[in-house]
Chains A and B, each alone.
Chain A
């Protein structure tokens, strides 16, 4: 990153201290500190809190700790912008080890501006591990400051400070560099600094994200990973927090103080070898990261194109992995935490920006990841990799979620196509399919909080209501094409031909993000889970298994984006059994506690059901909240149906039992819709039953008792609904 010079001494001189807290430095013991850090930016209180034995036993760490602290902080009436709402950041007991790939994740939770329920994000960068090694298993940020503040945690000195910071930048690519320059003694010290920040877009929209930095000492750049979903960056800026910064300088392989370092190293070494030997033939994560998926999704008709209308495009070659591989820098270690051989955090260096406030600057753009390529590319009809990269850069530095921006812009473009929007209503922007410059200008207006940018920044659910109220648009049509559930925009896979994935998306607790379950191949291609009960079992196991990464501070990618050479010969290759056993081994190696496969699922099930009850407590989490927009279930429009008429006609004949000959397309759409919506309802029944919930999606008392989370305040939430 260049061209963003700043005066550190001048910035420091403008600071005004708010409060300071000194704490006793203690070593981590077997992955835990057993204390958390509380910071109230509204009244300046800073304190440490002990973690009870019960909390540790039931909530494990990471997302579990974040949710427990959040539950205790809010009431059912709390809104996202109430001061008592929190932004909580935690890693887990395994998080921060430098031996097993993918062990540097932070998990962030808050009450979401777009959904009103708890949102959680799993994000890379150095912050979570540095926070832990500075002495805290979690950070709890509460209150709202009157003026912009920075929170600084000095893990070397054992001191936490809040100070007013009027001069620092808001946009993350500048602010992260300022934080590194401000708190590092010298060039070598820069790698010991990590910051959390948002951006101008986060304060002007509801779809704000957080950026977690890690200093790339070879590039000499503070790089950024995103906690993207659900508007946590918006909460962060509402609290007037510019940055939370941690410094920790003594990292080594013993920082997490594992119970059995030799076993941890042995297990990690096995995976390092596997990645080095096999990744080039498998997913090419080290070459291009998750962007390798673009051409695969396009080939399987799963790449969202033009607001999920279609699953492929002949133009997708323009944004495939090879197009980006030609732009990103190769040959540099790209791990977002130490010891990650998978190293999938790719970056394009010296990228010259063509638009916006940083036009002409040459910057490092992190990514793009698959979701960004799909959301800021195919889903809005853009197939120019440089436009995708520029959207990626500005989303990040403005603190805007690329997924929500992409899905929201796709919705806007389809509204334009249908005459709901025009240039008068968009302030002169012709937001049509494939218009990259218009998409970029829309993003800048969101960043500035200007004109139609303010409307777009509300996200899809609120835009539906706005367009119906102000422009007379048909609410039913808007509901059908607006790809959100619970208020969260869908991530970037077409789920029409996979009933299991329709459930994986819309029954996900926080909203339609694929990190609970990605079952499209298992369901649609492999035909391995044909019955409702089969699908329900998959929608039990995978969400529980994947929840565990968020409890431990782990990345999901080394689980199944690389597979052992003999994985195919195992009984359940989709679960990658050897890697599951690795996780059990490293958990014991770190904590000293035994864990078997059933115990792993139980750890997750406790937190998962707690989160479910939390959603109900906040007014959602019921059956009706799990209904998807029809665009994610089947064809809404004649154009959509007729683009794959052979497929749908065949389904009418063979599955629905209707002869399509002689029917017009609207009649075919209606028949298919009735069939698919009925099947979705049946899937809900099966999934809720498997999870130990009522038909309305409420966890039963027996389920809560079995998991040991039948706390009075938890039971009190569900009891009236049983």
Chain B
């Protein structure tokens, strides 16, 4: 189990940041992702794996009128 934005979320082996975003249906383009406080560059979402027990912060910025 991991924590995503303060809520528990099931973990599985090889889970990447991109997979979390897909599972959470986080489609907004302006995101800031941190794993246990460490910033993950947007270009690395597909390759960065998330360890079991991680605290994942997916910060959505704002846009629109």
**Interface pair B27/A296, CB less than 8 Å apart:** yes
Residues 517 to 542 of chain A near chain B (Cβ within 8 Å): 518-519, 521-522, 525-528, 530
Stretch touching chain B among A29-37, A154-162, A553-561: A553-561
Q: Tell me whether A281 and B29 are in contact (CB under 8 A).
A: yes
Is A82 an interface residue when CB atoms closer than 8 A count as contact?
Answer: no
CB-defined contacts of B7 to chain A, threshold 8 Å = 527
Binary interface encoding of chain B residues 38-61 relative to chain A, with 1 for a CB under 8 A from any of its CBs, else 0:
010110000000000000011111
Say yes or no for A471: interface residue by CB 8 A criterion.
no
Asked if B29 and A282 sit within 8 Å, CB to CB, the answer is yes
A281 contact set on B, CB distance < 8 A = 29
A47 neighbours in B (Cβ, 8 Å): none
Q: How far is the CA of A40 from the CA of B37 in the complex (A)?
A: 61
For B6, the chain A residues whose CB sits under 8 A away are 527, 530
**Contact of A518 with B64 in the complex, beta carbons under 8 Å:** yes
Determine which of A518, A526, A576 lies in contact with B5 in the assembled complex, contact meaning CB atoms within 8 Å. A526
**A residues 492-529 touching B (CB-CB < 8 Å):** 514-515, 518-519, 521-522, 525-528
Tally B residues with Cβ within 8 Å of A.
23
CB interface residues, B 10-52, toward A, < 8 Å? 25-30, 32-33, 39, 41-42
- For the complex of A and B, the 7 pairs showing the least CB-CB separation, nearest first, are A521-B60, A568-B32, A527-B6, A561-B63, A527-B5, A299-B27, A573-B32
Q: Is A370 among interface residues, defined by CB-CB distance under 8 A? A: yes
Q: Which residue of B lies closest to A296 (CB)?
A: B28
A633 to B25, CA, bound (A): 24
CB contact list, A257-309 vs B, under 8 A: 281-283, 290, 293, 295-296, 299-300
Bound together, the chains give a CA A515 to CA B28 distance in angstroms of 20
Q: Which chain A residues numbered 529 to 582 have a C-beta less than 8 Å away from chain B?
A: 530, 556-557, 560-561, 563, 567-569, 573-574, 576
Instruction: Please report the C-alpha to C-alpha distance between residue A568 and residue B61 in the assembled complex, in whole angstroms.
Output: 10
CB distance from A714 to the nearest CB of B (A): 31
Query: Please, could you name 15 A-B residue pairs with CB atoms under 8 Å apart, sorted by A?
Result: A282-B30, A290-B65, A296-B27, A299-B25, A519-B62, A522-B60, A522-B62, A527-B7, A530-B6, A557-B65, A560-B62, A568-B32, A568-B33, A574-B62, A576-B61
State in angstroms the CA–CA spacing of A42 and B14 once bound together. 74
User: Could you list 18 further interchain pairs (A-B, Cβ under 8 angstroms) beyond the known A518-B62, A522-B60, A525-B26?
Assistant: A283-B63, A296-B27, A300-B25, A370-B65, A371-B65, A518-B64, A521-B61, A525-B60, A526-B57, A527-B6, A528-B59, A560-B30, A561-B64, A567-B32, A568-B33, A568-B42, A573-B59, A573-B61
